[in-house]
């Protein structure tokens, strides 16, 4: 049985290779579908966001790959979208005109510095600490509550079908010194966010990147969050957040086993242009 991956970064943002290298590797791995999700371009975006002038080339290059490999694999064009009120959201003209197959909404920024820089929660710990001090006056609960509030507003957007790496902010916890994902306020924010996913019929991404990059011991989100998502009936999908062709299905086997243990029976996939939920095992999805 095959795997699929719809969260991937190529050299248009911070990935390592041309899109074609990922498609070739996916065919070698017998994947029936692959999606690209470069970091969206926007005014003031950081170095790892795609440059605005590259967007047309990105769309064109993937569109050419769709045709070239049409008999071997389904290729999908997406973006990993940031959400910063009044700066970047999925209603921006360049995003709407891109005619994307899918959008993954992911939080990489929370809050804005006085000088207009956006505070990264996904970058070096020093940047997080700077934002915590300068924007949130050392109130870590306020900062992370804001992160989840923005996330809920993001998934309320009409075209954001997938929520990427829900709890990526946990990489900033410093082994629980700064905050813990088991504190009551944190759990409340997570629960509210899962309820929002259920209400908006948004797919929750299970992202393996933290494990194979050795930043975390488990997936984004953590197992306890996935258990809650299962109880609520939130649909899930499995993604590698690959920045290199060799990462396309990294850690999928143990993660699928963990998802089966929780009770999940289906993974959402984009197949023939439609989102469908397919049964899966630790060897892949029943693509049919
Ligand atoms: Zn991301
Ligand atoms: Zn990503």
Confirm if 200 and 234 have CB atoms less than 8 A apart.
no
For the chain, the domain total comes to 1
Give the mean pLDDT of 128-153: 98
CA 64–ligand 1 middle distance (angstroms): 25
pTM of the model: 0.97
In a 13 Å sphere around the CA of 271, the CA atoms on its Cβ side amount to: 16
Output the pLDDT for position 72.
98
Give the mean pLDDT of 187-198: 98
Burial class (CB in 10 A: 0-12, 13-18, 19+), 253: middle
Number of the ligand closest to the Cα of 239? 2
Rounded to a whole number of angstroms, the distance between the first and last alpha carbons of the chain is 9
Q: What is the mean pLDDT of the chain?
A: 97
Specify if 258 maps to a domain. Answer: yes
Specify if 151 maps to a domain. Answer: yes
Going by pLDDT thresholds of 50, 70 and 90, the confidence category of residue 261 is very high
Q: Record the tokens describing residue 253, joined without a space.
A: 């086997």
What contacts 233, CB < 8 A, 6 or more positions away? 198
Confirm if 202 and 163 have CB atoms less than 8 A apart.
yes
Number of the ligand closest to the Cα of 107? 1
| pLDDT greater than 90 at residue 182 | yes
The rounded percent of the chain whose pLDDT value lies above 90 is 95
In this predicted model, what pLDDT tens digit does every residue of 99-113 receive, in sequence order?
Answer: 999 999 999 999 999
Specify if 158 maps to a domain. Answer: yes
Output the pLDDT for position 95.
96
Q: Across the strands, what pairs with 203?
A: 162
CA 134–ligand 1 middle distance (angstroms): 24
Specify if 192 maps to a domain. Answer: yes
Structural domain of residue 233, as residue ranges? 19-108+146-285
In this predicted model, what pLDDT tens digit does every residue of 35-65 receive, in sequence order?
Answer: 999 999 999 888 899 999 999 999 999 999 9
Specify if 253 maps to a domain. Answer: yes
Output the pLDDT for position 16.
86
Give the mean pLDDT of 252-267: 98
Output the pLDDT for position 175.
77
CA 81–ligand 2 middle distance (angstroms): 9
Give the mean pLDDT of 179-183: 95
CATH label of the domain that carries residue 265: 3.20.20.140
Specify if 131 maps to a domain. Answer: no
CA 264–ligand 1 middle distance (angstroms): 24
Specify if 268 maps to a domain. Answer: yes
What contacts 215, CB < 8 A, 6 or more positions away? 171, 209
CA 106–ligand 1 middle distance (angstroms): 6
CA 9–ligand 2 middle distance (angstroms): 6
User: Can you point out the beta strands (E) in 147-273?
Assistant: 162-163, 203-207, 236-239, 266-271
Give the mean pLDDT of 202-228: 97
CA 149–ligand 2 middle distance (angstroms): 20
Specify if 13 maps to a domain. Answer: no
């Amino acid at each position: 049985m095959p795997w699929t991956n719809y969260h991937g970064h190529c050299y248009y943002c911070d990935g390592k290779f041309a899109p074609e290298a990922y498609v070739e590797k996916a065919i070698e791995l017998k994947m029936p579908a692959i999606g690209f999700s470069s970091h969206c371009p926007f005014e003031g975006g950081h170095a790892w966001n795609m440059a605005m002038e590259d967007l047309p080339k990105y769309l064109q290059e993937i569109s050419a790959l769709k045709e070239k490999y049409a008999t071997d694999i389904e290729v999908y064009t997406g973006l990993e979208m940031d959400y910063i009120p009044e700066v970047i959201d999925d209603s921006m003209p360049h995003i709407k005109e891109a005619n994307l197959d899918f959008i993954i909404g992911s939080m990489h920024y929370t809050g804005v510095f006085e000088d207009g820089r956006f505070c990264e929660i996904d970058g070096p710990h020093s940047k997080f600490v700077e934002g915590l001090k300068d924007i949130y006056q050392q109130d870590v609960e306020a900062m992370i509550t804001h992160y989840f509030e923005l996330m809920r507003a993001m998934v309320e957007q009409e075209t954001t079908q997938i929520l990427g790496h829900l709890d990526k902010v946990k990489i900033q916890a410093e082994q629980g010194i700064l905050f813990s994902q088991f504190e009551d306020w944190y759990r409340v924010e997570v629960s509210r966010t899962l309820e929002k996913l259920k209400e908006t019929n948004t797919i929750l991404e299970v992202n393996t990147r933290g494990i194979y990059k050795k930043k975390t011991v488990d997936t984004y989100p953590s197992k306890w969050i996935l258990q809650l998502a299962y109880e609520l009936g939130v649909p899930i999908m499995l993604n590698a957040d690959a920045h290199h062709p060799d990462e396309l299905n990294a850690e999928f086997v143990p993660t699928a086993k963990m998802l089966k243990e929780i009770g999940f029976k289906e993974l959402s996939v984009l197949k023939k242009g439609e989102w469908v939920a397919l049964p899966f095992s630790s060897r892949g999805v029943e693509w049919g």
